[in-house]
Structure 1
Amino acid sequence: MSIYEITLLIHVLLFCYWIGADVGVFYSSKFVVDSTLSQETRLTAAKIMLGCDLLPRICMSLMLTVGGVLSHYLGIEHPMWQMIGIILLGPVWLTLVLVLHFKHNASFIPKLTAIDFYFRWIMIIGIIASCIYAYTTGRLDAAPWLIIKLLGFAFLIFCGLMIRVNLKGFVSTYIKLFSNSQTDEDNKLMVISLNKVKPWVITIWVVLIFEAAIGIAKPMF
């Protein structure tokens, strides 16, 4: 297999594991908020949910790097500094994701969580700005569909941020599950919080499928 074919395979796998694991997170979450289940069952479901949730985060962190390398093989020229940035973005973002997941009890996690939050906003702004630049200068005239895919990815990051914002009620009660100290109000708050994020989760699935369709069709606008 050529480097292009290997990169394309990785790209496809990232898409599959992203949407596949996200469905697993969505399904297992309903058992976490089910107050009729035992504490042990709910904690087991939560463990499965959090384990599955790591995969979409990994896939998102690597997607831009893999997509940038693919665009190179499709004939899109990148300045050396830009190509270095594209290649480094994936490992740096992935490291951030893994540290936040596996070192969640560390003292520096609140600060790192804030850095991650603003980093994602910077990514959204940066992607939109690069798309505007590419459109106005004609840089992607040979593959204008890439602009749609990039804007779609920026929107996916935004959806993830909205999930994080609306999941605060869920997280606060999830912590209480360990000591079995949650009240009926806490359980209701968990359900309300989860219902708030459902539209964003489903939107992510729709956008991912749309992104895949654009990548296959490669429409020339």
Structure 2
Amino acid sequence: MADLAYPSLVYVHLLLFVLWLGADVGVFVLGQHFRKRDRYTLPERLVLLRLLVTVDMVPRSTWALMVPLSLSVAAAGNWVVLPLWLIVLAWIVAAGWLWLVWDAHAHDQTPRAARDRRIENWLKIALTLFYFGLGALWLVTDAAPAWLAWKALLFGAIFAAAIMIDVAFKPVGPQLGRLLTEGSSDTTEVPLLATMNRTRYWVWCVYALLVVTSWIGVVKPG
């Protein structure tokens, strides 16, 4: 059974990557179709938006699970020595993060959801700093292979880009509310489209970073 632990963790790690990137592409495609006011009626576009929010729960969930799993894979493969307490803490943090994500989804548009998302935002900032610090420490001390250190740094960059997606997307709430209240027109649609266009740049950043990070993890250059 011990011989199966590491390859099984690697398999789950790859599975989460596929779910993360695949579902995120689905979110992107649904968002692209939501933008097409000349092809769909407003009620149809709102259905697409509801589907987008539902599909988006997959990458949000896999992102949280990637944190403890990445550390578990590194430790189980003997790529780096990590204290047991750190791995246990990572799984506890991931469980709390998952709860915040799903609780906010279940109570959307309420003060409770807003509170959950504020806590989640601070957690993501803390994890961004953690992975940047961990990657830099490994590079300086040679405590881990260089490819693993760069993977940690890139994972921190994924966190940073994903945070910027949320920042860029923030005006969508009020803009969408105005669209629902006033109906579809250039006045309500153009600002919404501009916000979505700005968000796309950070989405592409996340995709590129995910591809590079996964390549480094599989090829292990150097």
The TM-score with structure 2 as length reference comes to: 0.90
Aligned length: 218
Residues 200-219 of structure 1 deviation map (CA, whole Å, 9 limit, x = unaligned): 11111111111111011112
Alpha-carbon distance in structure 2 between the residues aligned to 1:23 and 1:83: 30
TM superposition shift of 1:147: 1.0
Residue 35 of structure 1 aligns to a residue in which SS? coil
Aligned to 1:122: 126
- Write the letter of the residue equivalent to 2:5: I
- Write the letter of the residue equivalent to 1:3: A
Q: Specify which of 195, 204, 207 is matched with residue 205 of structure 1.
A: 207
Aligned to 1:164: 166
Aligned to 2:114: 110
Residue 127 of structure 1 aligns to a residue in which SS? helix
Aligned to 1:82: 86
Alpha-carbon distance in structure 1 between the residues aligned to 2:61 and 2:83: 26
TM superposition shift of 1:150: 1.0
Aligned to 1:57: 60
Q: Specify which of 182, 189, 202 is matched with residue 191 of structure 2.
A: 189
Please, what is the CA RMSD of the aligned residues? 1.8
Aligned to 1:71: 74
TM superposition shift of 1:55: 1.0
- Write the letter of the residue equivalent to 1:62: L
- Write the letter of the residue equivalent to 2:82: H
TM superposition shift of 1:182: 5.1
1:28-39 to structure 2, matched below 5 A, reads 28-36=30-38, 37-39=40-42
Matched, 1:9 2:11: yes
The answer (yes or no) to whether the contact 1:124–1:158 under 8 Å persists in 2 is yes
Alpha-carbon distance in structure 2 between the residues aligned to 1:15 and 1:218: 17
Residue 33 of structure 2 aligns to a residue in which SS? helix
- Write the letter of the residue equivalent to 1:91: A
Matched, 1:98 2:82: no
The answer (yes or no) to whether the contact 2:9–2:73 under 8 Å persists in 1 is yes
- Write the letter of the residue equivalent to 1:117: N
Runs of 4+ in 1 over 3 A off after TM superposition: 175-183
- Write the letter of the residue equivalent to 1:85: L
The TM-score with structure 1 as length reference comes to: 0.90
The answer (yes or no) to whether the contact 2:5–2:76 under 8 Å persists in 1 is no
Q: Specify which of 134, 139, 154 is matched with residue 135 of structure 1.
A: 139
Alpha-carbon distance in structure 2 between the residues aligned to 1:110 and 1:152: 29
- Write the letter of the residue equivalent to 1:95: W
Alpha-carbon distance in structure 2 between the residues aligned to 1:40 and 1:54: 22
Sequence identity (%): 22
- Write the letter of the residue equivalent to 2:191: L
Alpha-carbon distance in structure 2 between the residues aligned to 1:18 and 1:177: 30
Alpha-carbon distance in structure 1 between the residues aligned to 2:95 and 2:72: 14
Q: What runs of 5+ residues in structure 1 fail to find an aligned partner? A: none
Structure number with greater CO (CA < 8 Å, separation at least 6) is 1
TM superposition shift of 1:109: 2.0
Q: Specify which of 144, 148, 151 is matched with residue 150 of structure 2.
A: 148
